Amino acid sequence: MSFPTLQVRPNEKNPKVLRAHEFLRQANQLVERNLLNADGKKLLAKQLSKMVNEVKGIYALDEKRIEAGKSAKLLDKLKVVHEVSMTVMEDRFVTADLARKVLEKNSEVQRKLTEIENLRNSVQVTKAEVQREKEKREKRRNFTRKSTDELAAKSSTILKHLENSADVVKLRKMEEAKRVLEEEVEGLRKEKNRLGEQIKTNKATLKVESRKSFQKTIIECAKHYKLCQTLTPKLLKSQKNVETLKEEEEIRRASGSLDETILIPQIPDAVFDVPTGAECDDLNLLLNTTIEANNDDWKQRRFEFLVGETFLRTSLAEFIEEYEVETETVLKVECVIGIEAPKPLHDIQAPDWVSSVQIANNHIFSTTYGGDIVIVDRKGKETKLAVNSANRILKCSSIVKTPAKKSELDGTEILVGGENQLLTLYAIEKGVLAEKLILRGHERAVECVSVNSDATRAISGSVDTNLKVWNLDATDESTNFEKDENESATKKRKKDGRTKVPMVTIGGHRDAVTAVTWCPWKAGHAFSSSHDHTIVEWDLELGGFWEIL
């Protein structure tokens, strides 16, 4: 009977395998020595077969473990390969995306190059237009200079003719003669005063001098008296000539050929001792009294007094204290004729701040920040046509048309603008102020408006820095505004009112436009001012600025 064999792997460390191998070796020794009977051999063989099968199972399990380890390594390698493949695929996708972006960039660059080329062409065209515009302006300036020179030459010729005219020469001769006579009269008056003073002095001297001196004085006085008698006819003649000149001057003043002025007579050149408590009324009394003493025809007038460059409004003491004037200083006080402040004929009260005033047909049209259009007559009485324009702020106005009769209001048209970005044309018909036309186009509040002389065009300025030209011709419908069919009923205007859009929009100011007016000497031109510190002349036919002042 033979036992199963068992091959042990080198360097085997499994205790079950080692025990099985040792048990098999001992069993073979027992068989060789013939120490076992038949039953023992069968039992031992059965036990050895079981142990060999266990060892084979252990070996098979180890082989499976080895295979599993190899599979795990292979799986790891496959994972690594998969990750590398995914990375490569992502890189390919990124490369494709970059290639697509590069193509898009190339297309955009090509488009930009095309736009640049178009812009270059536009710039060249614009430069050509600017050059043509400069040439036009230069021609206009040359024409203007030539016209100005011609007008200046004509004006010089007219002035020369006027200077050489007989009336002017005669008037100048009369004025020169008047001046000479006034100087003679003034000299005679001074001589008379001197002689009077000398006579007074001589009279005082007679009391203390001897009789001989008195006789000499009498003789001297007689001489002076004779001289006075000789000078008196000349003085009377000079006064008569002065009166004649005054009459001629009055005749010229009545005919309007001479401007009426206030002639201040000569004030005696003397130093007056005035108390420091004197005020303007006291100085007025002193000055008028002094002038009346030398001029019987003088009428009381109110004077204003200047000390240096400052008008005297307080007493002299207060002035000296305020300006720290030395008390021993002689003050030189200059006087000028005081002009009475104008007094209002009517005080017209408005319901709110007044933003604009216009005059037409002996009536005053005004707009307010409360949205009122107030109309009053020359006597300051408000008419029944005053209305409130939908509680909106009105800032400007301009008269469009006026009726032929100055006393009537029917037919008067006024254009107003305000905070709601609109301009509204109102007309007075049958005693009612009715809305006729709406001008829509500004994006901010309308600050100013002006209508041309034939009432066919209007120009307006706004806080949006733009100027807009409007067509006021009722027969021209080229700028009519077509309303949207879905516009809400609350935004619709009256059925008989029309809406127009601007003919031209002109931009050039950098801040709000504050005033605008049509040029009276050049058709198609207008002026505007702005908060950007500029006044601009606009050529509305070319749609651009003509000159910045």
55 neighbors 7 (Cβ within 8 angstroms): no
Rg, C-alpha atoms of the chain = 59
CA distance 393 to 419: 5
- DSSP H or E segment with residue 168: helix 166-206
Q: What is the pLDDT along the chain (549 residues), one digit of tens a residue?
A: 555 555 555 556 667 667 776 777 777 777 677 766 777 777 777 777 777 777 777 777 777 877 888 888 888 888 888 888 888 888 888 888 888 889 998 889 998 998 898 888 888 888 888 888 888 888 888 888 887 888 778 767 766 665 555 656 666 777 777 788 778 778 877 877 787 777 777 666 655 554 555 455 545 555 555 555 565 665 565 566 556 656 655 655 554 444 444 555 666 666 667 777 888 888 888 888 888 877 777 778 888 888 877 888 888 888 888 888 776 777 777 888 877 667 777 777 888 889 999 998 888 999 998 888 888 888 778 775 666 655 678 999 999 988 887 778 888 999 999 999 999 999 988 888 888 899 999 999 999 999 998 889 999 999 999 999 999 988 888 778 776 555 544 444 444 568 899 988 888 889 999 999 999 888 889 999 999 999 999 888 776 666 676
CA distance 115 to 357: 52
- In angstroms, what CA-CA distances link 156 with 141, 145, 343, 396? 22, 16, 42, 42
What is the phi/psi pair of residue 394, to 5°? Answer: -105, 135
pTM of the full structure: 0.43
CA distance 56 to 60: 6
CA distance 7 to 28: 15
CA distance 206 to 214: 5
